[in-house]
Amino acid sequence: MLAPGCSLGNHTQIKFILLGITEKPWAKTPLFVLFLLIYIVTLVGNVGIITLVRVSPSLHTPMYFFLTHFAFTDICYSTAISPRMLADLLSEDKTISFTACMMQFFTFAFFAAIECHLLAMMAYDRHVAICQPLLYVTIISSRVCWQLVASSYLFAFLSAIIYTWCVFGGSFCGPNHIDHFFCDVVPVLKLVCSDTHSSEMIIFAFVTINVVGTSVVILLSYISIIRTVLRMPQSRARAFHTCSSHLMAVSIFFGSGFFIYLQPSSSHRSLDKVASIFYTMVTPMLNPFIYSLRNKEVKGALIKCVSRLFNQWQHTRLVSCRT
């Protein structure tokens, strides 16, 4: 334990203790099994989405190009949190070094920012597809898709560096217990004994750009979509159906995020851990199902892919039997 009032010059010597989800011994094993299953399903589901889009020519469109990056982000986003949390559920030693804590936060912030931008890009893609269908190929070209994705990765990288510097650049004095299951901005900033006002203002500015800015893009895109669809004489249901999966993903991701980060720091309680579990673990698991079970194109491509694999297996079996 670090003595209160001390000043730490060498941050690399600092060690934190993650208090985790629960201190109840009887709950740790069931939670480990539950979260391990969630993590496995997340990996399998998102890798499956990436693979399906890659091997299905019918899914080689801008919307599914963004979806593959979204699935990749979900994998990395969840992996930044889940393995460490699972290990802490079975371990008595929950110590995490300053460097490991900082890298976990940086990775989490990086992929969370990318996810915000990708959701905005997918909303804009739906806006152009419904409101300007004749210009869709020209506006959302392959080159534009790559430029949008590359710019989101670059801006997210710069944002994550600034977030990390603002959170971990201050002086840490005891206690060193992080009341969370990962190194998130609010519980870590509570341990900083230097003035955090300027850091909080910088974080707020970049969160406004990354979260509120992308939310505005999504909101304006769907306002335009609704206005266009209501003027359609027919096919309204089909037009809305193409947006339903994206709307569900947006609602789950931004809803849980806003619940945590847009409330005063003094009001953060244990309920925040439940919300954090939802958007760091449950949401990445749900997204593949949202985009597959509610999407006819994905379901059709999946059926074709499975059918093709079955036919190949059957052909191989017949050849082997003849020989």
Q: What is the pLDDT of residue 251?
A: 79
Is residue 306 within 8 A of residue 54, CB to CB? The reply is no
**Whole-number Å distance between alpha carbons of 173 and 193:** 6
**What pLDDT does 8 receive?**
40
Is the pLDDT higher at 21 or at 108?
A: 108
Mean pLDDT of 29-51: 93
Pairwise CA distance, residues 51 & 56, whole Å = 9
- Asked if pLDDT for residue 4 goes beyond 50, the answer is no
Cα-flanking dihedrals φ and ψ of residue 319, to 5°?
-65, -45
pLDDT at 189 over 50: yes
Q: How much is the pLDDT for 238?
A: 62
Asked if residue 140 lies in contact with residue 66, where contact means CB atoms within 8 angstroms, the answer is no
Residue 124 has pLDDT above 80, yes or no: yes
pLDDT for 264: 55
| Mean pLDDT of all residues belonging to the chain | 82
Report pLDDT digits (tens) over 253-294: 777 666 666 555 555 555 677 778 888 888 889 888 887 766
pLDDT at site 293: 64
pLDDT band, very low/low/confident/very high, at 147 (cuts 50, 70, 90): very high
pLDDT tier, 7 (very low <50, low <70, confident <90, very high otherwise):
very low
Percent residues over pLDDT 90 in the chain: 33
Detail the DSSP E strand segments found in the chain.
15-18, 95-97, 177-178
Give the separation between CA 146 and CA 150, rounded to whole angstroms. 6
Give yes or no for residue 239 having a pLDDT over 70: no
HEC profile of 38-82: HHHHHHHHHHHHHHHHHHCHHHCCHHHHHHHHHHHHHHHHHHCCH
Give the residue, 53 or 207, on which the prediction is more confident.
53
Tell me which of 259 and 1 has the higher pLDDT: 259
Residue 283 is predicted with a pLDDT of 86
Q: Do 92 and 43 form a contact (C-beta atoms < 8 A)?
A: no
Looking at residue 173, what is its pLDDT? 77
Burial of 184 by CB count in 10 Å (0-12 exposed, 13-18 middle, 19+ buried)?
buried
pLDDT at 154 over 80: yes
Helical spans, DSSP H, in the chain: 25-55, 62-79, 82-90, 98-131, 136-139, 142-168, 185-189, 197-207, 213-230, 236-261, 271-277, 283-293, 296-322
* Residue tagged 């609010």 (tokens): 186
Contact 279, 256 (CB under 8 A): yes
For the chain, domains (ranges, CATH) are: 11-311 (1.20.1070.10)
Determine the average pLDDT of the residues in 149-159. Answer: 94
pLDDT in tens, 59-77: 888 988 999 999 999 999 8
**Closest to 111 measured CA to CA, from 75, 77, 84:** 77
Helix 98-131, helix 236-261: angle, nearest 10: 160
Beta bridge partners of 15: 97
- The per-residue pLDDT for 109 is 92
Evaluate whether 28 touches 85 at the Cβ level (below 8 Å).
no
Note the pLDDT of residue 121.
Answer: 93
Interatomic CA distance for residues 101 and 97, integer angstroms: 6
| Helix, strand, or coil (residue 302) | helix
Residue with tokens 């809305």: 240
Question: Closest Cα to residue 83, out of 71, 72, 96?
Answer: 96
Collapsed DSSP state (helix, strand, coil) of residue 18: strand
Give the DSSP per-residue string, 139-160: HT-HHHHHHHHHHHHHHHHHHH
**Closest to 270 measured CA to CA, from 103, 53, 32, 22:** 22
Q: Structure tokens of 76?
A: 């990395």
Q: How confident is the model at residue 9 (pLDDT cuts 50, 70, 90)?
A: very low
Residue bearing the bigger pLDDT, 117 or 199: 117
Instruction: Please give the pLDDT value at position 153.
Output: 95
